[in-house]
Amino acid sequence: TKDTWYVYKVYKTLPETSKFNVDVIQPVPEESGVDEPGRYITLTTCTPVYTSKYRYIVWGELERTEKVDKDRTKPVELR
């Protein structure tokens, strides 16, 4: 965001699921491997490339936040 970097760590992927599987974006998706609410992020994209046949899902958990400095220096993970 404008003032804060959010650093997430990927903990699980689901390489292929139906485009109709909306459960993957629940607050605590069964497939994600976690069973309690937390500070998670769900990323989705179409797969295979250039099609919309399936969805590729990536789940991450917030590791930390970092204030954006005046030079907008990226977190070490992005350098």
Provide the annotated active-site residues.
Answer: 46
Nearest to 11 by CA among 62, 71, 46: 62
Residues 58, 55, 77: CA angle, nearest 5 degrees: 25
Q: Looking at residue 3, what DSSP letter applies?
A: S
Q: With H, G, I as helix, E, B as strand and everything else as coil, classify residue 76.
A: helix
